[in-house]
Amino acid sequence: MRTRNTVPWSQALRLSQRKNHFLLVTPLTRAGTGKTYLSAFDVRNVNPKKMLFLVHREQILLQAEESFKDVLGEGINTGFLTGTSKQIDADYLFSTVHMLAKDDVRTRFSPEHFDYIIIDETHRAGAGGYQKILEYFKPRFLLGMTATPERTDGFDIYQLFDHNIAYEIRLQQAMEEDMLCPFHYFGISELTIDGVEIDDSTEFRYLTSDIRVDNIIEKINFYGYSGNRVKGLIFCSRKEEARELSRAFNERGYQTAALSGDDSQGIREKSIEMLEQEDRENGLDYIFTVDIFNEGVDIPCVNQVVMLRPTQSSIIFIQQLGRGLRKQEDKEYVVVIDFIGNYQKNFLIPIALSGDRSYNKDTIRKYVAEGNRVIPGCSTINFDEISKKRIYAAIDNANLSELKFIKEEYNNLKYKLGRIPRIEDFEKFGALDMIKIFDKFGSYHAFLSKYDSDDYKIKLSAEEEGIVAFLSQKVAKGKRIHELEMLDRLLVYRTGILRILRNSLKENYNIDLSAGEEKSVISNLTNSFGKVEEQKKYADCVFLKEDGNDYAIAS
């Protein structure tokens, strides 16, 4: 068992226990792996009399129990609460949410029965079954674990844990710390079939045509895999496509299966075993699926991930990429092949890979052009020329300033912090570029007053609102520090402002203030620069006045 990376995590958890609810945001390790071991280490430190480990899927329970026994020893008293097992007297109980959400099962325990409750895949906790459990039980410690706490439905996951994030690590940092298997990502263009480009509304017959199947096989063979034989996952856009492509692959000599939510747990587990086995005979080369492997399943052997569906969510993209990022002794790297059609949301691909949530279009374009310079370690990112053009077109056409999008990103950060974010928080936590709010609403104050008035109670006069709008539109969006530094100095000094600005720029930024820059700063902060209409609009925005050979704060 590798424990090298668990030490700082465990320390973070112990520190967090000054409170009794805490959230762990982990990288792309899944149930039964790194974060489960971490929770087991913390349970060992706390030594609760009764512990509950909650999961979404029954197949995870055995892996989780094995992890706990690795850490706490084989002698611990464990049990399962599932459709087929009711070992409710166990000290350490491993249960599915579905089972414990039943009233007649849950009420067999007192609300204080468990000292420590662990919820895996916590981003699901907004669902009704989770809410029943959380509202009923009153543990001393509640630990949530997820790789993707952000939600698109407006539910605040963070508040369940008092906004106490014990530890957070995302893809980029996890790659830097060698926690994940290196990956080689290839974004390649989908075919144009009979003059029809594959896009969000492509007919089924094109998705499963012989020419597309042969092209997929050609590319997966060309880009290859690490290991003795391929063990791949292929993500499709719909169940019918997965089944038909699996059939077509099998006709061409491959051994594949198509799985969906319609298949029983037993069939899924058997298919995974066939994919994992070293001997290809009676095994599987690929499993075709839509979304049942996005999360909550551990298949470390996967050495090739193929994406045949449009990217609709950066979260789901990372979840599917993450299926191959578990380390295994005989796997040097995982190959990720993304067939990029003419999809509307292609711009989410570089956002997902970079982890940059500023949604600045120039930054997104730069990542497409220079991905290999950004991704840590020996992983690589490559887009062919047609794919680049399709992503650039999606970036150009994307409306990244629409209200729904801005409110969603704002709420995600607010939920994380447990308060209204300050402007600097957006930069500090790698969130939305504030310029988008300035462009859309004029100022952050205007946005908050309109869309978060329940919590934001600050009221400004018309003159004050105009000043805030001026600073947001004309100063905060500037390409230099000069005006901001001047305003900062005005908070402290009333006279001799130009002299103080020259000294401050030189001392703090090694900038010599030129005569042209000096004139420009004065014009901007005395509202004597720009169009006449703007001078009228910002008539109250005069911050400086002449004071002999220098300037002073305007009264």
Q: For residue 117, give every residue at least 6 positions away whose Cβ sits within 8 Å of its Cβ, in sequence order, or none.
A: 51, 52, 54, 137, 139, 141, 142, 143
Residue 237, CA atoms < 13 Å, CB-side half-sphere = 21
DSSP 476: T
Chain position carrying tokens 């026994």: 69
Between CA 256 and CA 245 the distance in angstroms is: 9
**Concatenated DSSP letters for 492-551?**
T-SS-HHHHHHHHHHHHH-----HHHHHHHHHHHTT-SS-HHHHHHTTT---EEEETTEE
pLDDT at 5: 41
Query: Rounded to the nearest 5 degrees, what angle is found at the Cα of 95, between the Cα atoms of 91 and 99?
Result: 130
Query: Rounded to the nearest 5 degrees, what angle is found at the Cα of 547, between the Cα atoms of 545 and 550?
Result: 100
pLDDT at 534: 81
DSSP 79: E
DSSP 184: E
Between CA 369 and CA 379 the distance in angstroms is: 16
Q: Is the dihedral of CA 373, 375, 381, 383 positive or negative?
A: negative
pLDDT at 420: 96
Between CA 216 and CA 49 the distance in angstroms is: 54
Please state, in angstroms and as integers, the Cα–Cα distance from residue 57 to each residue in 62, 385, 452, following that order. 11, 41, 37
- Residue 141 tokens read as 């410690």
In a 3-state reduction of DSSP, which class is residue 326? coil
Between CA 83 and CA 304 the distance in angstroms is: 34
Q: For residue 221, give every residue at least 6 positions away whose Cβ sits within 8 Å of its Cβ, in sequence order, or none.
A: none
Looking at residue 64, its amino acid is A
Domains observed in the chain: 6-169 (3.40.50.300), 183-397 (3.40.50.300), 407-553 (no CATH)
Please state, in angstroms and as integers, the Cα–Cα distance from residue 344 to each residue in 10, 25, 350, 395, 398, following that order. 42, 30, 14, 9, 8
Between CA 291 and CA 532 the distance in angstroms is: 57
Please state, in angstroms and as integers, the Cα–Cα distance from residue 163 to each residue in 20, 71, 112, 125, 306, following that order. 11, 28, 22, 14, 36
Between CA 365 and CA 354 the distance in angstroms is: 11
- Residue 236 tokens read as 């499709």
What is the full per-residue pLDDT of the chain (555 aa) written as tens digits?
333 344 455 555 554 554 567 776 765 554 434 678 888 888 998 899 999 999 887 778 888 899 899 999 999 999 999 988 899 999 999 999 999 999 999 999 999 999 999 998 887 777 778 899 999 999 999 988 887 777 666 678 888 888 888 777 777 777 777 778 899 999 999 887 777 777 777 777 878 899 999 999 999 999 999 999 999 999 998 999 999 999 999 999 999 999 998 888 789 889 999 999 999 999 999 999 987 877 656 788 999 999 999 888 887 888 888 888 888 888 999 999 999 988 888 998 998 888 888 888 998 999 898 876 667 778 899 999 999 999 999 999 988 888 888 998 899 899 888 899 999 999 888 888 999 999 999 999 999 999 999 999 999 999 999 999 999 988 887 779 999 999 999 999 999 999 999 999 999 999 999 999 999 999 989 988 667 888 888 888 999 999 999 999 997
| φ and ψ at residue 54, rounded to 5 degrees | -105, 135
Partnered with residue 383 across adjacent β-strands are 187
Partnered with residue 197 across adjacent β-strands are 192
